[in-house]
Amino acid sequence: MKSNEMNKVLFHNLTCLTISIAAFLLLTSNAYAYRTDHSFLPPEANVCAAHVPVTLTIPPNSQAIPDPSKGEFSHGFYHIEELKDGLFYVTDGVYQIMFLVSNKGIIVVDAPPSIGLNQADPAASLTLVEVIYSIPETQGKPIKKLVYSHTHMDHIGAASFIQDAFPDVKIIAHRLTNKQLEKGTNELEGLLPGAGSSPPPLAHRVFSKAIKIKLGKQKLQLSYNGPAHEPGNIYIYAPRQKVLMLVDVVFPGWSPFSNLALAEEVPEYITAYDKVLGFDFDIFIGGHFNRLGKREDVIEGKKYIMDIKANALAALQNPALFQIFSILPNNGLGATAVYLDQMACDCANRTLDPNQTPSAVDWRSRIGNADINSVGHCWVMGEAMRIDPMF
């Protein structure tokens, strides 16, 4: 064997060994929610040192319903279920959409590129259009209307496939959503799992406050009640079926996605829970994860957010953390960053301790990923409370 070939083999073997060792260390060492190391601080100011280990255990309230690991998905790698009167729910365990079937066609709400992706056998993957038409109730009925919940590509990135299959489809969105989509480019592709394209097609019909759409006997009420997640994020309500869909705000059975689900205006995000509860609904679709929600889930989600808010305030008022600025007197930017990290840790420690958090709920045993996400929620909440005049 030539020396170059031997070097290549040796490099390959060393690389594999390094990866194996790294994986072993990762799997056998403790994982922690708070990665910040501020060991130069005195103990009373280094509350991140008292971090809570990540368990990665999913509490019973967060279990998948239906559970694909038990073979309960209707189609193996995705699930379609009629909720009521021609309103269907679709999920791949991570993303959720709904569509309504009438004698005149179909209304689809959102188009995530991941739905239809077969992780176990990528060659057997389907497009979202093929998923929708994999049940008898949709056969021979065209998709007439497509509703965008908001701009994010992980929720509408497959819209072009629907438009390609049905060129006459009418796309409906809030005017702020369309305004953002107009700024889109084709520079980034392939960053999301599944079949999608960037940017998605623009809406044909936009609105500012509220509209009603109808197709045969199916009706949807679309309303905008402020930037709960981002500007243009709308509430989608099916009054006949009493189903409400609001994406990326409430996560039934789970803590919100990182950093309050990337909320652009935290006060609006907080008030969105009460706005959701103002609807007369029996079923809530949050756009993510592995089960549907009920009113009780929204109430519980609000309780968690109010704990985060109260504990962020307590952490902001913790005098032990103020000394960070005197410890780093010549580095205001660094001191502020360290302070905010410690504030977030203090808030998260309080939130995850049922003896300290106002609700007295043990969130780690109640909602999924509370131990992982709480520090990010606290950071965003605390910083917003410091600087946002809406508080």
End-to-end CA distance of the chain: give it in Å, rounded. 71
Could you say which DSSP state residue 166 is in? -
Domain boundaries, the chain: 31-58+306-387, 64-290
**Which residue, among 137, 194, 136, has the nearest Cα to 160 in the 3D structure?**
194
**Which residue, among 87, 189, 190, 101, has the nearest Cα to 138 in the 3D structure?**
101
229 vs 23: which has the higher pLDDT: 229
**Which residue, among 14, 63, 56, has the nearest Cα to 33 in the 3D structure?**
56
List, for residues 59-76, the tens digit of each pLDDT value: 999 999 999 989 999 999
Rounded Cα distance between 227 and 231, Å, is 4
Rounded Cα distance between 28 and 33, Å, is 16
Cα 53 from chain centroid (whole Å): 23
Task: Indicate the range of 17-21, 192-196, 374-378 predicted with least confidence.
Answer: 17-21
**Which residue, among 261, 346, 262, has the nearest Cα to 38 in the 3D structure?**
346
- Name the residue with tokens 């309230």: 61
**Res 188: pLDDT:** 58
Rounded Cα distance between 292 and 283, Å, is 7
CA 146 vs CA 46, 92, 208, 220, 238: distances in Å? 51, 19, 17, 12, 15
C-beta separation of 141 from 98 below 8 A:
no
Rounded Cα distance between 47 and 320, Å, is 9
pLDDT grade for 198, boundaries at 50, 70 and 90: low
- Name the residue with tokens 């739905």: 115
**Which residue, among 195, 56, 217, has the nearest Cα to 115 in the 3D structure?**
195
| CATH, domain range 64-290 | 3.60.15.10
25: pLDDT strictly greater than 50 = no
List, for residues 91-129, the tens digit of each pLDDT value: 999 999 999 999 999 999 999 999 999 999 999 999 999
**Res 184: pLDDT:** 76
List, for residues 307-351, the tens digit of each pLDDT value: 999 999 999 999 999 999 999 899 999 999 999 999 999 999 999
